[in-house]
Structure 1
Amino acid sequence: MTDQDLSSNYQGAFGKRIGFGKKPVLLMIDFVEAYFDRGCALFADVEDALASALRLQAAARAADVPVIYTNVVYNKSVLNGGRFYQKSMTLHNFVEGSPMGAWPKGLVPREDELVISKQYPSAFFGTSLASTLTTLGIDTVIHTGVSTSGCVRATCVDCCSHGFIPIIVRDAVGDRHPAPHEANLFDMDAKYGDVVREAEVIEYLKNIGKVS
């Protein structure tokens, strides 16, 4: 099936736009050293995605929009790894204390910003994220991070399921191969949230800042 056939197949059935809400949060999903270290099996060449996410981080901070970070952390016995750890050949890089779990150069969470450590793909599963967003009155979750086909997608689906608006920033998410990256962007945009460009989100955050 060609790209044109695919678009025609989905037209009229999927792809309705939700749009931005009134109170956003910026979510930076699993930007850790493992994806930037060429010696690591998780290396994904996602420097451009991080650069975009950092520009969004600056815009969010300027607008007093909360920024939340996620990472994957297992205890040393990996008792909390479950089937996800069992399936993967790479998650040992996220056992607590591993240098691959550190933040990459240029990414520094502030002391007043929240870091959520998880053990599974979704930032919502087994964490306090949904409760935190509800308490803050958040209606829109701006997704950045890695990988598009893994933790970003899983978070997007759960974000939708929890009643928040998923906004996925095309420029600020990345994967190890363009095929799953593009396929999952297409599918998320068709069924769960809105895939948008960085510039559109920057403008939205500037306007949110003016309103607040």
Structure 2
Amino acid sequence: MAKQQKQRPMRMEQRGSLEAMQRLEGRSDEDLAAETKFKAAAYAILGARAAERYDAKATRAWYSRAIAAARPQERLQLRRMADASIALAERRAGDLKDAVEKLGQRPPSNRQLLILQFMGLLAPPPGSSILIRLRGYAIIIGLFVVLLAIGFGLAKLVALPFGGVGTIGGFLLGIVLIIVILGVMALLGRRRQARARAKAAG
């Protein structure tokens, strides 16, 4: 019995630093970077946070340090986590879906993947060719022109009951309307994400 009691803490310790991630998630980046006991878990969290900022270089760097600090039996799982995070940071929707499935988790929804893919078109990952970057600039300019035209049309429509508005005034009012609409959409999107996180945490 005494022997079993001695072995139990050893087995708990052998579960590795990956299980410490839940305890470390609430810490700041500075605290995680200074972590000494569970380095692999801390560096993996920093890599995941860098991926959420779409910083592929930092994501790779933190996961490289995490894998180097991990036990051999933990490295495969960390590599899979790194693949998913790097795919997110580089906005590669298809690779992200495959990597998340390899982790045994539910992949992002088709809408989330579509948004990520669209972001990849607008802001290609570092190292992309000039043509791909030019394509991103062209899409941004095209979107701006389309939004400006929509705003101008809305401004003309809104101003009709008040006697109409000139071309310059219509463009200025259209820009204001588009900014307001985008701001409201962003606010609603953040609230929806907050409710989704709260629901997932609960």
TM-score greater than 0.5 by the shorter chain: no
Larger relative contact order (C-alpha < 8 A, sep ≥ 6)?
A: 1
As a proportion of its length, which structure holds more helix? 2
Larger radius of gyration: 2
TM norm structure 2: 0.26
